[in-house]
A and B are shown apart, each in its own frame.
Chain A
């Protein structure tokens, strides 16, 4: 068992560090063991036949023909055709697949579609509002992206952070963003862009 701080995950009651989970406690906190746990549960469920699954993506209803244990990521990318959300690890370790569920950041690669039926999901293509615009604008102002592959996930995590912590410190940014890997190493600019967005959004 590990005592984990996961304030960005509303639905957690009990967190169990799965025996197969080889994270250090620190990484476990970053990488959201909840997803390992859910993934484990979902792998125990028999593969069902494809069925109609109703998803609310970016305010639009999608009736998709899917097995209920298919990860949300692949429903978004393949079935709904929204490719801004990326595959990076499939284990909630890198954050490239981050989307919003009820406005909170989740890792879609380990979230089975059955658990999010009809719940409001937002992807990078659907972000809107002054806060999201401030984040996108600061990302462009500071030319944050390099290869760009992780950036939709970074931006989704950043918006979720600013929603609950409007003026984050460096430490709060580091804690909130450490689950999102960038191999190009744009971290310094992400940090600066979050500060910038916090400042412009508050005016």
Chain B
């Protein structure tokens, strides 16, 4: 029995006593009024009769269970995932479940790992795992108490099943909705216990429809760019042509003369043209004559930046990991192998360019956006408007893709609303050109790897040097001894049993804006590690799969590591829980038919990578035509992400991660010429299209471990798996991305 029957009974007596002798206000006061009131207040959709036991769920008399998502939905399936966890412990029927995005309230809805209300880092599922299940279990306990009270039976004789409480002995049952009003006035149980995983009905269910599928299929889902208010004006911003440039002056005359244009206002990032339609705002923006101060702007092009980075590859950097003595081992090695890698700047290019709607009045600011850094947007709005935090309301809408891009740029719309004195609501739309050209980008990186083999072909030394910008800037939580842990993630925690390892980093400083891009550091480190290991296996005359199996024979966490830069809480989880990497690799190899022959011109490649607490192994099969063009035919994926909450959402994320990563390695690149981005739309910035999509097979390892995220870890293995397959087919090694730049 999950509830503490004794304390519930006591509380109930107190309730009855209080109820007969005092005013209702006092009675409610007895029952945690602030908490209940606050939860109900946060859930603006909560009717007077709804049961609101906590911040994450309410149950209405109409039998609808509404789950409040503290995390933003941009396709990763988190609305479905959080609802599944809560509904599981509540024993709700999936058909009665709805999801509502949380309002801005960091005390109630903060990300428990980041400490602010934000979505990212593939930690939405793990940080909510306990919290949402507990919230469901609490509500269930109260519904059980309500039924016990109503029927005057012991709670031990009741059970909850698919949205009803059942008393089999008397053949009575009541829906959650019927019990909600009574349950609403019961005390919160002091303690609840959570289900044994073997009793899960929704978690792990093979077919649980996505909660957001229907509106997204019918075109009724509302994204921020779709949202509108009466009298709303539309805004397009003129942004600097080079990074680090600022507005010196501008002449709005021609723009203002255009029909439909109402205002031109300067904001922190440029000049905003306000109009009664998008087309008028864009035309006005194009007519705006701006003098830019480019004294601090980046004027160099990609070749110049690469030359500078290349020079740094010859210099020792700040040490991220050191095991043994790499230099000494390389000096005595029978054979050494060296390879340099180039990774371009990349745009996120979500299908919905950024957008936000803001309505500002003297005492309230409302923001509608799909951006993810809710607390940051609220803080920015406080700074911009001078209003108090509780006067800033954020209405979170579906984001049309994120991949790391959708942070807190909605605050630019607050600047614009203020710029026109709050006269009308404003909708800020980014054009695709702004999206591609203004960043922030996945940084450009150069890597150099050196390996040493002894006489017997054993890998005795591994040196990995990385040059590039930090996406975290000055965040003290992740910058240790000058090292941004995310720049070396996937390299410093290389899992293989190699006696001498040295990983070092040069962090460059440039005015080019950079940010996290789906899988962050692992988006480049995995490519280097897994393709270079393939080269080493080849040099040692060993099968890449067998070679990896040997090197994964020891638990890397038990190894003596002289130096490993990582924040203390991360150290434990920096390496895959042994032997997860081995297991997924074996599963992928088995399902892909590793070792079976392929016709000429075709090749098979393997990569395994652990990131964001998930282990994934991919085997890619490619066909390389006589003209050198590459077609990826099939990708077999094995995944261990702990408990598989929604297996079909996990499969979808793997399919999507394959597409996202594959597009990047095949053809995506952002290059600069004299400081200007050369790409501007999907013609220059090429991404994966349908005809390039391989067949993807996904196998999920059964696991009872706490769940990891799955959005990001699906990306890193695809690049190296494909590169290794191309090598297997042709003997040609890809080390400069994208492939199209060297094809």
Contacts and interface: CB of A to CB of B under 8 A. Distances in A.
Interface of A: 21-23, 27, 30-31, 47, 49-50, 67, 70-71, 74, 77-78, 81, 83-91, 93-94, 96, 123-125, 136, 139-140, 143-152, 155, 173-175, 177-191
Contacts of B596: none
Contacts of A88: 351-353, 432
B217 A144 contact: yes
B730 interface: no
28 contacts: A30-B689, A31-B682, A49-B259, A70-B279, A78-B234, A86-B400, A87-B225, A88-B351, A89-B681, A90-B681, A124-B219, A139-B213, A140-B217, A146-B76, A147-B352, A148-B212, A149-B351, A178-B689, A179-B689, A183-B401, A184-B660, A185-B655, A185-B656, A186-B656, A187-B655, A188-B696, A190-B690, A191-B690
A155 B656 contact: no
Contact of A181 (B216, B222, B283, B682): B682
A132 to B, nearest CB: 11
B403 interface: yes
A149 B400 CA distance: 5
Interface of B: 74-77, 209-210, 212-223, 225-226, 228, 234, 259, 277-279, 283, 349-353, 398-403, 429, 431-432, 648, 652, 655-660, 663, 681-684, 686-691, 693, 695-696
A74 B277 contact: yes
B105 to A, nearest CB: 25
Contact of B693 (A89, A145, A175, A187): A187
**Which of A88, A91, A179 has the largest number of chain B CB atoms within 10 A?**
A88
B673 to A, nearest CB: 14
B400 A148 contact: yes
A78 B277 contact: yes
Contacts, number: 188
Contact of B77 (A78, A146, A155): A146
A136 B683 CA distance: 30
A164 B91 CA distance: 47
Nearest to A83: B226
Given A70-B279, A140-B214, A147-B352, A181 B656 contact: no
Contacts of B399: 147
Contacts of B213: 139-140, 143-145
A143 B648 contact: yes
B652 A143 contact: yes
Nearest to B283: A47
Given A96-B351, A155-B219, A183-B403, 14 more contacts: A70-B279, A74-B278, A83-B222, A83-B228, A125-B219, A147-B402, A148-B212, A150-B400, A179-B689, A183-B660, A184-B75, A184-B401, A185-B656, A185-B693
A-B residue pairs, 7 tightest by C-beta: A84-B219, A185-B659, A148-B216, A147-B75, A149-B400, A146-B75, A124-B219
**Which of A31, A83, A184 has the largest number of chain B CB atoms within 10 A?**
A184
**Which of A49, A94, A143, A155 has the largest number of chain B CB atoms within 10 A?**
A143
**Which of A86, A147, A173, A189 has the largest number of chain B CB atoms within 10 A?**
A147
Contacts of A123: 219
A77 B689 CA distance: 26
A145 B216 contact: yes
A183 B687 contact: yes
A147 B689 contact: no
Nearest to B277: A78
Given A74-B279, A83-B222, A147-B74, A188 B655 contact: yes
Contacts of B684: 22
B690 A177 contact: yes
B652 to A, nearest CB: 6
A100 to B, nearest CB: 13
A124 to B, nearest CB: 4
Given A186-B655, A187-B659, A84 B218 contact: yes
Given A124-B219, A174-B690, A182 B351 contact: yes
Contact of B217 (A31, A151, A173, A180): A151
Contact of A23 (B351, B655, B683, B695): B683
Contacts of A190: 690
Contact of A31 (B655, B683, B690): B683
Nearest to B77: A146
Nearest to B696: A188
Contact of A139 (B217, B350, B687): B217
A78 B278 contact: yes
A96 B279 CA distance: 18
Contacts of B655: 185-189
Contacts of B351: 86, 88, 94, 96, 147, 149-150, 181-184
Contact of A85 (B219, B228, B682): B219
A136 B659 contact: no
B694 to A, nearest CB: 8
Contacts of A93: 681-683
A65 to B, nearest CB: 10
A149 B212 contact: no
Contacts of B350: 147, 149, 183
Contacts of B215: 148
A30 B210 CA distance: 31
A96 B349 CA distance: 13
Contact of B681 (A91, A144, A189): A91
Contacts of A125: 218-220
B334 to A, nearest CB: 44
A88 B351 CA distance: 6
Contacts of B681: 89-91, 93
A101 to B, nearest CB: 17
Contacts of B658: 185
A81 B694 CA distance: 37
Contacts of A147: 74-75, 216, 350-352, 398-402
A12 B630 CA distance: 33
Nearest to A125: B219
B523 to A, nearest CB: 15
B485 to A, nearest CB: 27
Contact of B652 (A31, A77, A177, A189): A189
B353 A143 contact: no
Contacts of A94: 351, 432, 682
Contacts of B353: 87-88
A92 B543 CA distance: 46
A146 B654 CA distance: 12
Contacts of B682: 31, 89, 91, 93-94, 181
A36 to B, nearest CB: 9
Contacts of A124: 218-219
A124 B425 CA distance: 27
B656 A146 contact: yes
B219 A149 contact: no
Contact of A149 (B77, B223, B690): B223
A23 B684 CA distance: 8
A148 B398 contact: yes
A21 B683 CA distance: 9
A146 B401 CA distance: 8
A150 B213 CA distance: 13
A78 B283 CA distance: 16
A155 B220 CA distance: 13
Contact of A173 (B220, B401, B690): B690
Contacts of B691: 174-175, 178
A89 B690 contact: no
B492 to A, nearest CB: 29
Nearest to B278: A74
A171 B214 CA distance: 28
Contacts of A175: 691
A107 to B, nearest CB: 12
A23 B76 CA distance: 31
A178 B690 contact: yes
Contacts of A47: 283
Contacts of B686: 27
B75 A188 contact: no
